């Protein structure tokens, strides 16, 4: 069983990657997308999204991170992939799954699933541009409006050089509405000679088991489920292992400290409340904390409240 941590724009950034990989159970991460729109990005643009590049391409806990690029221009993506590869990530990943309307309107993310030949061209250009030793992978959805071309898209990416493929088991039209159609991944997994990773709607250990059975995949990517339950990967890898609320409280304080290093004061409280909002799905204590902190926006008051929470028996 290999467990990957998903990229989630606006939520699962390098700060949360740091915290969640400290908990354990995650084998590899993928950064949020680095948007490529016609220019060769400076090094700082890559490092801003993926500071792990300054740490050998790994989180502080030592978990490798692949840098994800998103765009629709094969030549420009290839040039930027070569530049990113020189900075030492654990691999290069390409985004063909983002469902955001603003991204899709500009021909990026899941919109590319309407054009399998372009998928092939992009993957081929990027694969040729980076060193042979640099792993290149991709993430896709089952399709744009429907899943009729899912296998065609997957084959186009493989033939273009993808060495691994993550499949989010919903179309762009499905968004994030349940269910995830894990059984549709099985056809892709059986058709490709490369590792295929199942992703989508894995909230607990039972979901992970059902996903494995339906897709046949032994590699899973965890996203919102891991944000809601930071112990999910450990529980999947070691059944019976539970990360308790008292174990999370010190990590929440570290998260708050890290947020303070790069988020402007007026937005810091919002980042913590965003995570608490997810945590309350799994931890009743998070519901009480969220209710108590919902109206707190002053960073100094928030820090004081966190210290009080940690001091409680």
Which is catalytic among the residues 76, 98, 153, 211?
Answer: 98
Is 76 an active-site residue? no
User: With contact defined as beta carbons under 8 Å apart, do 196 and 153 qualify?
Assistant: no
CA angle 269, 271, 275 (to 5 degrees): 115
222's CB contacts (< 8 A; 6+ apart) are 3, 4, 5, 6, 26, 199, 202, 232, 233
**Catalytic annotation, residues:** 98
């Amino acid at each position: 069983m290999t467990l990957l941590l998903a990229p989630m724009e606006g939520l699962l950034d390098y700060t949360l990657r740091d915290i969640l990989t400290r908990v354990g159970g995650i084998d590899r991460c993928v950064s949020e997308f680095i948007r490529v729109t016609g220019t060769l990005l400076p090094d700082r643009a890559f490092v801003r999204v993926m500071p792990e590049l300054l740490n050998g391409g790994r989180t502080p806990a030592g978990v490798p991170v692949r840098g994800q690029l998103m765009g629709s221009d094969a030549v420009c993506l290839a040039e930027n992939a070569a530049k990113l590869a020189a900075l030492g990530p654990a691999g290069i990943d390409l985004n063909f799954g983002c469902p955001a309307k603003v991204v899709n309107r500009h021909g990026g993310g899941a919109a590319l699933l309407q054009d399998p030949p372009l998928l092939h061209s992009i993957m081929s250009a990027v694969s040729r541009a980076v060193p042979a030793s640099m792993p290149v992978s991709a993430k896709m959805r089952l399709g744009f409006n429907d899943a009729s071309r899912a296998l065609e898209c997957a084959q186009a990416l493989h033939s273009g050089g993808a060495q691994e493929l993550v499949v989010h088991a919903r179309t762009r039209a499905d968004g994030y509405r349940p269910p995830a159609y894990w059984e549709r991944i099985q056809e892709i997994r059986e058709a490709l000679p490369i590792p295929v990773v199942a992703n989508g709607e894995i909230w607990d250990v039972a979901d992970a088991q059902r996903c494995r059975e339906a897709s046949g995949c032994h590699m899973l990517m965890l996203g919102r489920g891991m944000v809601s339950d930071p112990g999910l990967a450990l529980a999947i890898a070691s059944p019976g292992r539970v990360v308790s609320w008292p174990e999370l409280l010190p990590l929440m304080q570290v998260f708050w400290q890290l947020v303070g290093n790069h988020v402007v004061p007026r937005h810091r409280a919002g980042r913590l409340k965003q995570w608490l909002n997810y945590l309350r799905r799994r931890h009743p204590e998070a519901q009480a904390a969220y209710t108590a902190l919902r109206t707190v926006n002053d960073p100094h008051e928030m820090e004081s409240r966190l210290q009080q929470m940690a001091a409680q028996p």
